[in-house]
Structure 1
């Protein structure tokens, strides 16, 4: 969890947050991570690959990748050029191949080949960061967190739950507004709503369950 934001929450944010949560629970009661994985290691790899890429594109390439490199030890023995053919259709695939090999080697050298249940240790892995650590630890180990991607950040601002643009500060604002037990669900629910209704360029406000209390309804959305 981040430290408290230095900027005040938008007016009415504390009233809207329960309404947002209730709407998400109605719309997406089974909201969960859409990356396909079987182990914490697979989730870590998939999450690193998902940066600036869709979950659909990641899920399309990871089965073959995981067949060839099922664990950190196997991946640590590869070279980036060995990984590139598996992920070539994903954006920034060369940098990601390098990071995957680097994180696998670090897992083997420092953590016995296992993904540690430790926030700082995951953040320190090549290609990882705060969002990756939140996604991996919350979905693999039940760590309470709201990981802020482009969808979560966009909805947080449109619903006037935060005025921040820095993902870490948005995370802090959201975690101050929602019950800790709901953080993981809130993260997944906001992502689904961003993908299915509250689009970046032309949000489908007419079909939105939150239209009655959303401050942005009827306002032209220029944010991408």
Structure 2
């Protein structure tokens, strides 16, 4: 299956993408991984992307699209892929459509993870990270530490990242609504969108998504 995963920040896209890709035996292709791989391997696209990033500028769509096309052309993506974080706007969606059409391929589904905005803010703004080890992550509501602001694992101080503050989260949501959400209408016009609730336990959401996708492919 060839799938695009969309949803607001805090919808759990990365977590769901990893589980779904494993269950469907297709590669999980995320924008972050594309950038890291191209930059570390010093590909031409990676060098170009780094030059924009080092200057504090956004990487142009055509560079991101080029990376995605190269990745989708690799052998492990021959039978499908799950795109996470790409396309991020309508122009990238149109470029993806064209690239797939040129290869005689098409998307099977666009999975839209739906989460109420207040829940997104609650999920992200409640995160607390350990200063000693950023892999130690807690949540003031869902997985609180035994002692407030103290890491259960190493005793380090827990803090709230600037990106996780409510004001910043709401700005990120504004960007999502303005730039990324319109791709849902783009794909609805093609009859590709499958919307599911991303509320509940991780495995419940995964099962919901698998059922919806299998219904689409049936």
Q: Shared fold by TM > 0.5?
A: no
Q: Which has the higher helix share?
A: 1
Greater RCO structure (CA 8 Å; 6+ sep): 2
What TM-score, normalized to structure 2? 0.30
